[in-house]
């Protein structure tokens, strides 16, 4: 890519509404949500779809912020700790996130996502209530409801992938699709 205009054209052709790469902060999340709220208002979509996409977006960004494993990551990984992109294509929105996690967390996250993906709508609702009533907080301060909530709101399976970075770290990618 020779210039910024080429990059702009590639983003336009890919129907990318917003993308970000870097360190995630609470101020950044606030800014991204304000930008996306404004963008969503200009779209020719039903209020129900706008609300659904926005709510899933909030949950995805909160997951990025709260669940980045930074305990022992290198400066290079920390400075490029997360990716986020939202695009609209073929009658659906895709909300994609990516972040570095430690090797120790891969199996438990995979197990949790697989469990969520095996559930239908009613089972997800019951599981959500079970986790909510359980009252246990994770090490990151959450109750573990985020991924369940994303699956419930999107009505689709959670697409995910783990890429090995080195002996201690993986890059976790999550793609959430929301039909119009």
The domain that holds 24 is classified in CATH as 3.30.565.10
Inter-CA distances, 97 with 19, 68, 85, 133, Å: 10, 11, 7, 28
**How many domains are contained in the chain?**
1
Query: Which domain range does residue 80 map to?
Result: 4-179
Mean pLDDT of 101-126: 94
Segment 34-41 long-range contacts (CB within 8 Å, at least 24 positions apart): 36/86
- For residues 52 and 30, is the Cβ–Cβ distance under 8 A? no
pLDDT, mean over the chain: 85
Provide the β-strand partners of residue 163: 171
Number of Cα atoms under 13 Å in the Cβ half of residue 8 = 3
- Indicate the range of 31-40, 109-118, 151-160 predicted with least confidence: 31-40
Tell whether the model's pLDDT for residue 16 goes beyond 60: yes
Give the contacts of 173 (CB within 8 A, at least 6 positions apart): 96, 97, 98, 160, 161, 162, 163
pLDDT at 137: 56
> pLDDT band at residue 140, thresholds of 50, 70 and 90?
low
């Amino acid at each position: 890519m020779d210039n910024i205009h080429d990059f702009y054209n590639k983003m336009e052709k890919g129907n990318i509404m917003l993308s970000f790469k870097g360190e995630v902060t609470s101020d950044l999340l606030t800014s991204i949500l304000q930008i996306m709220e404004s963008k969503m208002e200009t779209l020719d979509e039903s209020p129900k779809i706008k609300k659904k996409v926005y709510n899933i977006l909030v949950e995805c960004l909160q997951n990025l912020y709260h669940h980045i494993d930074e305990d022992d990551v290198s400066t290079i990984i920390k400075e490029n700790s997360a990716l986020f992109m939202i695009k609209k294509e073929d009658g659906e929105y895709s909300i994609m996130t990516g972040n570095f996690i430690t090797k120790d967390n891969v199996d438990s996250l995979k197990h949790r996502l697989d469990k969520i993906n095996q559930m239908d709508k009613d089972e997800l609702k019951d599981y959500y209530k079970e986790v909510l009533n359980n009252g246990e907080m994770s090490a990151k301060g959450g109750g573990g409801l985020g991924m369940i909530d994303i699956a419930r709101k999107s009505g689709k399976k959670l697409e995910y992938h783990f890429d090995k970075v080195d002996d201690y770290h993986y890059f976790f990618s999550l793609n959430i699709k929301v039909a119009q």
